[in-house]
Amino acid sequence: MPETQNISAVRDRIGDFFTEAVLHHRPVVIGRRRDQALLLGSAEVLRLVASHEFHPEVFVEDGAVSIWLPEFALYGRGRSFPEAHEDLLEEARDYVDEYVERSDEFVRAPNRAHHYPWVLRALVAELRGELADVLFAEPSEARAAVAEPAGIKHSPLAAADI
């Protein structure tokens, strides 16, 4: 097991511990009294939450498009798919910001506690500039069910394709 690093030691040598976590992919255990935390690189966090996929649902009505994101209980709306797509991205960004800001409340709220892994998934995706790709990715079950001819790569449906 990794040795627990005292918070003061981490403060004095944050660069070393950051290198351990990010470049060497080693979790750093940080302790203060009885409390402990882990310093993980974003790549490791992504590995932990990669199975938490998003499943947006598109609804088309007269002159309006709505996209429901059940993992966050959010809607994106617009007169067209691109407008609704952009609106949902902004709603998701706002929700992630709010969740992180108020996580001490939200992780205990019965209607929001289960969102935490998806919040981390979206946060890491946003840091990597991949939020739209992650929110609108084809579910892995669907990718696995599609038999692809050798040498042909399957790609998720893009907003421009709709």
Enumerate the domain spans of the chain. Answer: 4-40, 57-138
pLDDT at 153: 44
Count, in order, helices (H) and strands (E) of the chain.
8, 6
The residues, any chain, with a CB within 8 Å of residue 101's CB and separated by 6 or more, are none
Mean pLDDT across 108-134: 95
pLDDT value of position 143: 52
As a whole number of angstroms, the distance between CA 72 and CA 41 comes to 24
Residue 131 has pLDDT above 60, yes or no: yes
In this predicted structure, what is the pLDDT of residue 59? 95
Cβ atoms 66, 58 nearer than 8 A: yes
Mean pLDDT of 121-130: 95
Q: Give 58's contacts (C-beta < 8 A, 6+ positions apart).
A: 65, 66, 67, 81, 84, 162
DSSP at 24: S
Question: Residue 158 pLDDT > 50, yes or no?
Answer: no
Res 141: pLDDT: 60
Q: Assess contact for 118 and 71: CB atoms under 8 A.
A: yes
Which pLDDT belongs to residue 7? 87
- Judged against a pLDDT cut of 50, whether residue 42 lies above it is answered with yes
Q: Give the model's pLDDT for residue 3.
A: 84
pTM for the full model?
Answer: 0.79
**Was domain 57-138 assigned CATH 3.30.1360.120?**
no
Could you give phi then psi for residue 53, rounded to 5 degrees? -90, 160
Domain 4-40 has CATH 3.30.450: no
